[in-house]
Amino acid sequence: MAFTDYGTITTSHKLNKLYYNGKFLEGQDNYVVLDQFAKRQKNTDIPVNEGEQVEFTRVAPYAKKRTPLTQGENPNATKTYGNTVKATVLEYGDYIKPSKKFWITNMDKNLTENAFEMGKAAASTVDSLIWEKIAEGGIGIRADGDANESGSRPIASGSTTTRIKWTGAMSGLANGDTGVVVFMTGKNAGLSREFTCDATNPTTEAVVAALDHAPEANDIIRLCTTAGMTTGDKVTAELIRKAVALLESAGTPPFDDGFYHASYDPLQKYDFQRDSEWTNAQHYAAPKNLFRNLEGELYGIRFHKNLTPYRHTAGTIGTYVESGAVYVLSIFGKGAFGNVRVKGVNRKFYICPPVADPNNPLAMFGTMGWYELCCPVVLDGRRIVNIFNVPTDV
């Protein structure tokens, strides 16, 4: 078959662009979960043409002052310490090259399906990047409750900006084990770091990326690794209650709807939603569409189904593995994380129908693709609780 009416074909492509864009957006509907909460944070946009990096500064909490003042005398002024979180926007995207014949003969069917699938891929990419950052930057608790691999500890003297020491050995830790530490108090409060145990003393000492300040004795940290986690280490309602207690103890504010929010995978949902206190979304007094993929409520948390779970191999927090056995259920409050963008530049779908040019002289192919500029960042690790678990294999 010959194709000669090129003017008609080109016009037809242009008329279908809005339709393709609609299909692209439709494909995102069930795959943008975490990003809707990142967008609620303030000051996470970089102005256009003002560089690629944004810096967040947070004042460290002030200590209690329980000693009475001396009459007629001013006390010594307290020093102010700040913590800095930096983020650099990165580029993500993908495209396909449908042939001219494929484009023309399959326009109403396969290309719209491709637009739909690309919408899913774009949204899934961004959400998976956010979930990875959250999973590697919040308070970790293990579904098996192993206190030798996780828990709260006071900092010991002799810590530096790159090496932390704590009292109360974690006998389950070994040289080379990796995990996440969150500083709950002190000058570094709110900062989170991946840590690596080394041969010096792996049960009470680890190496971290440079901190803003050297930790002081008795600063409180929370550490967690996932080494040894295996089948049967499932999410329970009791673990969710524990997560709420940790968030509230850290003074984490809820979102504007009065709730904390959580992201979970369907397999994790299967393990705990049968609890008698679980409330289905259709029972809410508030509108069901208040947030995307809202499914239920438990203990002051609203849960959202997410089909792009963060997974890793047991013992290797910090390395995303799509087939990893260890999952994470993430619970967070307002101001926990952001997604840095360039102001006015958002996810976009590009449609370029077959057009002749020096690189495509016979106009034998067109392109369809998506582009995204973003960089998720944890703003305060105390406002995130990650329940690491190995869900039931159904």
Q: What is the pTM of this model?
A: 0.84
Each residue's pLDDT tens digit, 171-202: 999 999 999 999 999 989 999 999 999 888 99
Q: Which two tokens stand for residue 54?
A: 């944004």
Residues 225, 148, 326, 280: what is their CA dihedral angle, to the nearest 10 degrees? -110
298 and 369 co-located in one domain: yes
Overall domain count for the chain: 2
Instruction: For residues 123 and 171, state if they share a domain.
Output: no
Give domain status of residue 131, yes or no.
Answer: yes
Contact between residue 187 and residue 213 where contact means Cβ atoms under 8 Å apart: yes
CA distances to 68, 101, 108, 171, 180 from 205, in Å: 37, 63, 61, 12, 13
Whole-angstrom distance, CA of residue 315 vs CA of residue 173: 10
Q: What's the rounded Cα separation, in Å, for the pair 329 and 268?
A: 7
Rounded to whole angstroms, the Cα distance separating 194 from 181 reads: 6
The yes-or-no verdict on residue 151 having pLDDT over 90 is yes
Same domain for 132 and 173, yes or no, is: no
Assess if residue 244 is contained within a domain. Answer: no
Is 29 within the bounds of a domain? yes
Q: What are phi and psi of 339, to 5 degrees?
A: -130, 105
Residues 133 and 274 in one domain: yes
Query: Would residue 250 count as lying in a domain?
Result: no
285 shares its domain with 196: no
Q: Of residues 232 and 282, which shows the higher confidence score?
A: 232
Side-chain-facing half-sphere of 354: CA atoms under 13 Å: 19
104, 170: one domain: no
Tokens coding 32: 């943008």
Asked, for residue 66, whether it belongs to a domain, the answer is no
Query: Are 252 and 292 spatial neighbours (Cβ–Cβ below 8 Å)?
Result: no
Q: Domain of residue 215: give its range.
A: 150-224
Residue 180, domain CATH: 2.40.10
Q: What are the structure tokens assigned to 87, written together?
A: 């983020």
pLDDT value of residue 40: 46
Please give the full DSSP string across 134-189, using - where no structure is assigned.
HHTTSEEEETT--TTTEEEEEBPTT--SSEEEBSS--TT--TT-EEEEEE-SSTTT
36 and 114 part of one domain? yes
Give the lowest-confidence range in 100-109, 145-154, 238-247, 290-299: 100-109
Say if CB 327 and CB 271 are below 8 A apart: no
Cβ count within 10 A of residue 364:
13
Identify whether residues 180 and 45 lie together within a single domain: no
Statement: residue 47 has pLDDT above 70: no
Q: Is 368 exposed, middle or buried (0-12, 13-18, 19+ CB in 10 A)?
A: buried
Q: Is residue 334 part of a domain?
A: yes
Write down the pLDDT at residue 179: 94
Helical H runs in the chain? 6-28, 35-38, 100-105, 112-135, 237-249, 266-272
The pLDDT score that the predictor gives to residue 2 is: 41
Query: Do 124 and 205 share a domain, yes or no?
Result: no
Whether 34 and 138 have beta carbons less than 8 Å apart is answered as: no
pLDDT band at 261; cut points 50, 70, 90 = very high
339 and 192, same domain (yes or no): no
- Angle, helices 112-135 vs 6-28, to 10°: value is 30
pLDDT band at residue 338 under the 50/70/90 scheme: confident
The overall average pLDDT reported for the chain is 81
Q: Note whether 27 and 112 are same-domain residues.
A: yes
85, 305, 322, 324, 376 from 92: Cα distances, Å: 22, 24, 18, 23, 13
Handedness of CA 335, 252, 326, 378 (dihedral sign): positive
Closest CA to 223 of 158, 160, 146, 162: 146
Of 173, 200, 224, which residue is a domain's last? 224
Please indicate, yes or no, if residue 26 is contained in any of the structural domains: yes
Structure tokens at 285: 């007094």
Predicted pLDDT at 226: 94
Q: What's the confidence (pLDDT) of residue 4?
A: 41
How many residues comprise the chain? 394
Tracing tokens 């947070």 back to the chain, one arrives at 58
Confidence of residue 217 (pLDDT cuts 50, 70, 90): very high
Query: Using CA atoms, how far apart are residues 313 and 325, in angstroms rounded to an integer?
Result: 6
- 167 and 219 together in one domain: yes
In a domain, 352, yes or no: yes
